[in-house]
Amino acid sequence: MKITGTFLDEISHDIPHQNWGRAEWDADFSHMKAVGIDTVFLIRSGFQRWLTYPSKVVMREEGGYEPPVDLVKMFLELADKHHMKFYFGLYDSGKYWWKGDFQKEVDINLKVIDEVWKNYGHYKSFQGWYLTQEVSRRTGKVIDLYAKLGKHCKDISNNLPTLISPWIDGKKAVMAASSTITKEDAVSLKQHESEWSEIFDGIKGVVDAVAFQDGHIEFHELPDFFAVNKKMADRYGIQCWTNAESFDRDMPIKFMPIKFEKLRMKLEAARKAGYDKAITFEFSHFMSPQSAYLQAGHLYNRYKEYLKTL
């Protein structure tokens, strides 16, 4: 199964920054294209006070810091240049919905959506929206949040597609800053299906695709969880993608590029489950030949060899 999309990890929560300028990003889009990636997804446009573009909304209302570079503009220009599609990731306050106030998270994002569409909606490559608030369970009023934000994104942009990328609350669902790599209380397949059926029912029509992160469960659990996700997505008319994580969750260093064998297993599991599309988190740190992690360049080579076998 071929990876045709990647997240752009700006602003990052937990992956050290590579300090690339425009030249490096331009080259990276070329590297992506060379292996068939046609879509980039901005993981989030802002987090707490940090911003990827000079958002008047977030600077005024949340004390956002004015960024030195307008990354949204740069990514759109590069996507235009390389004939790729760009999905805009919304703003994550890092507080409102984290503390239960989902409506306030919706409110600030409605303004961000308006601002962004006005400023950047004319770019040819602006082709979709990423609802950046990630959950693993039916947490708080997340259905309401997805429904309202997804609807507004689509309404304002002549129905451009929307994507969410939840994680599965599996054994490896631990905090990045935790010293452990596994936990005891993983979600059961049944409970996962029950909660996500309810969520999908509440967001059908306004969320076009779901790409579950594939790294929080054990490798032998992939077939069962992937089958359930596909079944649910089909039932509610949502496209079922996989978010193939290209970093390794089994190592004490958080995080380094994944062993190719593991990535291959996850992609094969998605293929066998009949998934529609594979994207990755994320190319530039973990699969790029110019990554600061040299293991990534070797992963790129192994992945290219794999492509030839498809």
Ordered strands of the 46-47 beta sheet = 50-51, 46-47, 91-92
What is the contact mask toward its own copies in residues 274 to 293, using x (rule: CB under 8 A)?
-----------------xxx
Cβ closest to its own copies, residue 73 vs residue 259: 259
CB of 230: closest distance to its own copies in angstroms? 22
Decide the pairing of beta strands 50-51 and 46-47: antiparallel
Beta carbons of 57 and 63 less than 8 angstroms apart = no
Contact by Cβ (8 Å): 183, 173: yes
Of the ranges 133-141, 158-166, 248-256, 272-280, which one interacts with its own copies (CB under 8 A)?
248-256
Q: What would the x/- binding string for its own copies be over residues 147 to 166, using CB under 8 A?
A: --------------------
Q: What are the backbone dihedrals phi and psi of residue 237, each rounded to the nearest 5 degrees, phi first? A: 70, 35
Q: Which of 126, 181, 142, 164 is nearest to 44 (CA)?
A: 164
Strand partners, 101: none
Provide, rounded to whole angstroms, the least separation between the CB of residue 63 and its own copies: 6
Q: How far apart are CA 11 and CA 39, in angstroms?
A: 18
34 binding its own copies? (CB under 8 A): no
* Closest to its own copies by CB, 14 or 155: 14
Task: Provide the token pair at 146.
Answer: 């997805």
Q: Does 184 help bind its own copies (rule: CB under 8 A)?
A: no
**Helices 22-34 and 71-81, axial angle in degrees (round to 10):** 40
- Are 4 and 37 in contact, with CB atoms under 8 Å apart? yes
- Tell which one of 265, 271, 276, 289 touches its own copies (CB under 8 A): 265
Indicate which single residue of 65, 101, 111, 115 sits in contact with its own copies (rule: CB under 8 A): 65
- When the beta carbons of 114 and 218 are compared against its own copies, the nearer one is 218
Nearer to its own copies, 206 or 267 (CB): 267
Closest approach of Cβ 112 to its own copies, in Å?
Answer: 19
Separation CA 58–CA 229 (nearest Å): 35
310 binds its own copies (CB under 8 A): no
Decide: is 60 part of the binding site for its own copies (CB under 8 A).
Answer: no
Residue 264 as a binder of its own copies (CB under 8 A): the answer is yes
Q: From 19-27, 35-43, 102-110, 115-123, give the range in contact with its own copies by CB under 8 A.
A: 19-27
User: Which residues are within 8 A (CB) of 117 and not within 5 positions of it... i.e. 6 or more apart?
Assistant: 156, 157
Binding-site member from 159, 234, 301, 307 for its own copies (CB under 8 A): 301
308: contact with its own copies by CB under 8 A: no
* Residue 18 engages its own copies in binding (rule: CB under 8 A): yes
| CB closer to its own copies, 50 vs 236 | 50
Q: Which residues bind its own copies (CB under 8 A)?
A: 12, 14-21, 24, 49-50, 63, 65, 67-68, 176-181, 219-220, 248, 251-261, 264-265, 291-295, 298-299, 301-302, 305
